[in-house]
């Protein structure tokens, strides 16, 4: 049961190509990440050169268009989830959040941006030369995207942006920000997406200290009369809300897969500890109560992974719906919270001391339950879609 990836071999959704990718990413993680992750956690950010190395290893460009430097031929959604699994091995959620931040910053450009913008932005991002982040959340409201307040006023060939964004992943290092702004009236119909050069005059940012995700730089970002060229409008003016919502669905599926992966890390560490630790004259796993805990952790992980895989398959078939992603995210984050808690119980005092993966993952439970849409917002969204307002 401590074999980290045994589950893939028994799944109908994964085959030899997924295993080959897993081995490739695993080698990259072992060589370029595992020896340094504790230092990066202490430093509060990832080195920019890691993005270059990840690009060279094929990690950044997985499932992105070949014409922009990506690798899409022969790769499906389950290859992406396999990569998420392997990046989770180090037990640091901030790694995937920050290294793969283009996963939420770049898709809106590829989906609705101009050809000029795609050719200008995507290649350097996928090559690891530039970092792009997503700016949605504001100090005045988290998941209430329709009522965001950051304003962009059109003046000739420019937009003038004023406002602020909060809790922005990779916000301190980002070169570009795919930013939600208000260009029209109140509500969802007045929201647009702008690509903002983060080195523009009037942009300032403040680092935020966090409970977890320490190696992921997180920022509050402020705009004071920031000039943005009109050609940096992503899609049509006042048409950004639908693109934001579509982006959230893939983000929530990715977060759910991450929760399953980190839960498996917790289970692996707890099971190995239980097999090695002796109490009252026998291994910890020799006690019925511990075996029950471990088995129940596996039950929760396997059930959630099955739903993750089903939702991913539905995406491939074009049969997905937002309510599923919303409910799945709640299921996955609650599962991770339960598994991390039980793993900490198995480790006992060792889980309270820095150095175990369980300790780090336990601190990162809350960001999964809140980021990308809180549990309450998710369940209400699903309820409204499934049962009406």
Burial class of residue 158 in the structure, from the number of CB atoms within 10 Å of its CB (0-12 exposed, 13-18 middle, 19+ buried)? middle
Tokens of 4: 């980290």
Tokens 């289970």, residue located: 267
- Which structure tokens are listed for 56? 């060279």
Cα(244)–Cα(112) distance, integer angstroms? 11
User: Directed axis angle between helix 77-87 and helix 288-317, to 10°?
Assistant: 150
Distance, CA of 370 to CA of 251 (rounded, Å): 13
**237: which 2 tokens?**
């003016």
* CA 175 vs CA 29, 196, 363: distances in Å: 25, 9, 29
Q: Is 251 a catalytic site residue?
A: yes
| Residue carrying the six token digits 């690009």 | 55
Instruction: Write down the catalytic residue from 86, 251, 269, 342.
Output: 251
The string of DSSP letters for 77-140 reads HHHHHHHHHHHGGG--HHHHHHHTTHHHHSHHHHHHS-HHHHHHHHHHHHTTSS-EEEE--BTT
Length of the chain: 389
Give which of 145, 200, 144 is closest to 174, Cα–Cα. 200
Say what the alpha-carbon torsion angle 106, 111, 113, 116 is, to the nearest 10 degrees.
80
Q: What is the dihedral of CA 232, 234, 237, 243, to 10 degrees?
A: -160
Strands (DSSP E) found in the chain? 132-135, 151-155, 158-169, 176-182, 191-197, 203-207, 218-229, 233-234, 278-279, 282-283
Residues recognised as catalytic: 251
């Amino acid at each position: 049961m401590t074999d980290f990836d045994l589950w893939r071999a028994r799944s109908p959704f994964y085959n030899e190509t997924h295993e080959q990718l897993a081995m490739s990413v695993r080698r990259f993680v072992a060589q370029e990440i595992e020896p340094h992750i504790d230092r990066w956690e202490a430093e509060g950010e990832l080195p920019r050169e890691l993005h270059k190395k990840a690009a060279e290893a094929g990690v950044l460009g997985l499932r992105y268009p070949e014409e922009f430097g990506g690798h899409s031929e022969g790769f499906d959604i389950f290859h992406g989830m396999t990569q998420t699994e392997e990046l989770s091995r180090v037990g640091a959620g901030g790694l995937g959040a920050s290294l793969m931040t283009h996963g939420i910053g770049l898709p809106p450009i590829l989906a609705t941006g101009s050809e000029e913008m795609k050719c200008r932005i995507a290649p350097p991002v996928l090559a690891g030369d530039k970092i792009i982040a997503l700016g949605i959340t504001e100090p005045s409201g988290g998941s209430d995207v329709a009522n965001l307040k950051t304003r962009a006023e059109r003046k000739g060939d420019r937009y003038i942006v004023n406002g602020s964004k909060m809790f922005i992943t990779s916000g301190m290092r980002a070169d570009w920000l795919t930013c939600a702004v208000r260009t029209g009236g109140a509500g969802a119909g007045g929201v647009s997406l702008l690509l903002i050069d983060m080195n523009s005059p009037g942009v300032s940012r403040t680092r935020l200290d966090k409970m977890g995700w320490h190696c992921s730089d997180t920022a509050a970002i402020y705009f004071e009369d920031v000039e943005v060229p009109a050609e940096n409008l992503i899609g049509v003016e006042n048409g950004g809300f639908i693109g934001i919502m579509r982006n959230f669905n893939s983000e929530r599926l990715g977060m759910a897969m991450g929760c399953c992966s980190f839960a498996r890390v917790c289970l692996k560490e707890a099971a190995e500890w239980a097999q090695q630790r002796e109490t009252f004259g026998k291994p910890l796993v020799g006690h019925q109560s511990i075996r029950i805990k471990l088995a129940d952790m596996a039950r929760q992980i396997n059930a959630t992974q099955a739903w993750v895989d089903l939702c991913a398959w539905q995406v491939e078939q074009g049969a997905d719906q937002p309510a599923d992603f919303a409910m799945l995210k709640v299921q996955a984050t609650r599962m991770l919270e339960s598994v991390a808690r039980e793993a900490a119980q198995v480790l006992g005092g060792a889980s309270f001391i820095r150095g175990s993966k369980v300790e780090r993952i336990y601190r990162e439970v809350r960001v999964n339950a809140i980021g990308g849409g809180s549990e309450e917002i998710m369940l209400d969204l699903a309820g409204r879609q499934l049962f009406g307002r």
